[in-house]
Structure 1
Amino acid sequence: MPNQPTFAPLARALIGAAVLVAAGAVAAAAEPAAPSEAPQLAQLFASPAVAEYKRRLAEYEEARAAFDAEAQDYWSAISDKRRARNAKRRDGMPLAADDYVLTQPPLYRGPKKPINPEPEPGPEQPPRPPKYIPVVADYLAAAARHFQFAPHRPASDLEFKRAYVRTALTEGLTRDQIVRVYNFETGGNGTYDMQSGSPGRPGGRAISTAVGYNQLLTTNTVELVAERGGHFVRVLTEKAHGLPPPQRKALEQKIAVLRKMVAFCQSVPDDWNEHEKLAKTEQGWGVHALVLDLDVGPLLQTHKLLTSVIFARNKGTTRPLTAAELEMMNLTGDGTGLDMVTMPAALREIVPTANFFQRGGYERNPVAIRHNTVARLFAVMNARMDGAQGAQGAKDFASLF
Structure 2
Amino acid sequence: MPTRLIRSVSLASLALVALASPTLAQTALPLAVANARAQAASPEAIAEYRYRLQQYQAARAEFDRDAEAYWNAIAEKRRIRNAKRRAGDQISSDDYVLVQPPVYTGPKRPVDPEPRPQPPGERRSLPVVADFVKAAGDYYQFTPQRPASELEFKRAYARVARAMGLTREQAVRVYAFETGGDGSYDMQSGLSKSRPGSRAISTAIGYNQLLTTNTLVLLAEQGNHILKVLNERAAALSGPQRKALEHKIGIVKRMVAMARSIPGNWSEHEKLGRTPQGWGVHALVLDIDVGPLLQTHKLLTSVIFARQKGYTEPLTAAELEMMNLTGDGTGFDMVTMPQELREIVPTSNFFQRSGYERNPVAIRHNTVAKLLAVTDARMDANSAKPGARELYAAF
Q: TM-score range by the shorter chain?
A: 0.7 to 0.9
Q: Offset of 1:274 from its aligned partner?
A: 1.3
Counterpart in the other structure of 1:264: 258
Alpha-carbon distance in 2 for matches of 1:241, 1:90: 44
TM (norm. structure 2) is: 0.86
- 2:135 is aligned with 1:139: no
For 2:64, the equivalent position in structure 1 comes to 68
1:303 counterpart letter in structure 2: H
Task: Give the letter for the 2:311 counterpart.
Answer: T
Q: 1:395 aligns with which of 355, 367, 389?
A: 389
Quote the offset at 1:264 in angstroms.
1.2
Q: Cα 1:72–1:135, aligned 2, differ >3 Å: closer, same or farther? A: closer
> Is 1:47 equivalent to 2:43 in the alignment?
yes
Map residues 128-207 of structure 1 onto 2, 5 A cutoff: 128-198=121-191, 202-207=196-201
- How many angstroms apart in 2 are the aligned matches of 1:62 and 1:158? 58
Counterpart Cα distance in 2 of 1:136 and 1:360: 28
The AA in structure 1 aligned to 2:355 is: G
2-structure distance, mates of 1:141, 1:55? 55
Which residue of structure 1 aligns with residue 206 of structure 2? 212
Q: Distance in 2 between matches of 1:341 and 1:99?
A: 16
CA distance in 2, matches of 1:268, 1:164: 29
Q: Secondary structure at the match of 2:83?
A: helix
Asked if residue 352 in structure 1 is aligned to residue 346 in structure 2, the reply is yes
| Aligned mate of 1:231, from 225, 229, 232 | 225
Q: CA, structure 1 residues 160+387, in 2 after alignment: closer, same or farther (shift >3 Å)? A: same
Compared with structure 1, are the counterparts of its residues 387 and 274 closer, same or farther at alpha carbon in structure 2 (3 Å cutoff)?
Answer: same
What are the equivalent positions in structure 2 for 1:352-391 lying under 5 Å apart?
A: 352-391=346-385
Identify which range, 59-68 or 102-111, moves more after superposition: 59-68
Q: CA offsets, 1:173-200, max 9 Å, x none?
A: 1111100000000000001111112266
Partner of 1:81: 77
Residue-pair matches, total? 354
- The CA distance in 1 between the partners of 2:182 and 2:297, in whole Å, is 21
Please give the alpha-carbon distance, in whole angstroms, between the structure 1 residues aligned to 2:243 and 2:290.
16
Post-superposition offset of 1:253: 0.9
Structure 2 Cα separation of the partners of residues 260 and 237 of structure 1: 15
Moved more, 162-171 or 198-207: 198-207
Report the counterpart of residue 114 of structure 1 in structure 2.
110
Letter in 2 for 1:277: K
4+ residue segments displaced more than 6 Å: none
1:16-61 deviation digits (Å, cap 9, x = unpaired): xxxxxxxxxxxxxxxxxxxxxxxxxxxxxx7221222122222222
Which residue in 1 is equivalent to 2:101?
105
1:90 aligns with 2:86: yes
Q: Secondary structure at the match of 1:151?
A: coil
Provide the rounded CA distance (Å) in 1 between the counterparts of 2:275 and 2:69.
41
Cα distance in 2 for partners of 1:269, 1:72 equals 32
Residue 140 and residue 71 in structure 1: after superposition, are their counterparts in 2 closer, same or farther (change >3 A)? closer
Q: What is the match of residue 53 of structure 2?
A: 57
Q: Distance in 2 between matches of 1:400 and 1:136?
A: 25
* Counterparts of 2:122 and 2:57, CA distance in 1: 33
Which of the residues 332, 340, 357 maps onto 1:338?
332
Residue 282 to residue 153, structure 1, CA distance change in 2 (3 Å): same
Aligned partner of 2:281 among 287, 308, 311:
287
Q: Structure 2: how far apart are the matches of 1:289 and 1:218?
A: 9
1:135 to 1:100, Cα distance in 2 relative to 1, 3 A: same
Percent identity for Structure 1 against Structure 2 = 65
**Match in the other structure for 1:22:** none
Q: Give deviations 1:323-354, integer Å, cap 9, x for gaps.
A: 11111111111111111110001100001111
1:309 aligns with 2:307: no
AA of the residue aligned to 1:103: V
Residues 69/284 of structure 1: CA separation in 2 closer, same or farther (3 Å cut): closer
Give ranges in structure 1 of 5+ residues lacking alignment: 1-45
Relative to 1, partners in 2 of residues 1:198 and 1:69: Cα closer, same or farther, differing over 3 Å?
A: closer
Tell me: CA distance 1:359–1:267, structure 2 relative to 1, closer, same or farther (3 Å): same
Corresponding residue SS for 1:115: coil
Whole-Å separation in 2 of the counterparts to 1:147 and 1:236 = 18
1:279 Cα deviation from its structure 2 partner = 1.5
Q: What is the aligned partner in structure 2 of residue 5 from structure 1?
A: none
- Measured in 2, the distance between the counterparts of 1:246 and 1:83 equals 56
TM-score with structure 1 length normalisation? 0.85
RMSD (CA atoms): 1.7
- Equivalent-residue separation in structure 2 for 1:199 and 1:373 (angstroms): 31
AA aligned opposite 1:59: Q
Q: Which amino acid aligns with 2:136?
A: A
How many Å separate the matches in 1 of 2:349 and 2:329? 13
- Between the aligned partners of 2:67 and 2:206, the Cα distance in structure 1 is 39
1:38-88 per-residue CA deviation (whole Å, 9 max, x = no partner) reads: xxxxxxxx7221222122222222322322232232222212211111110
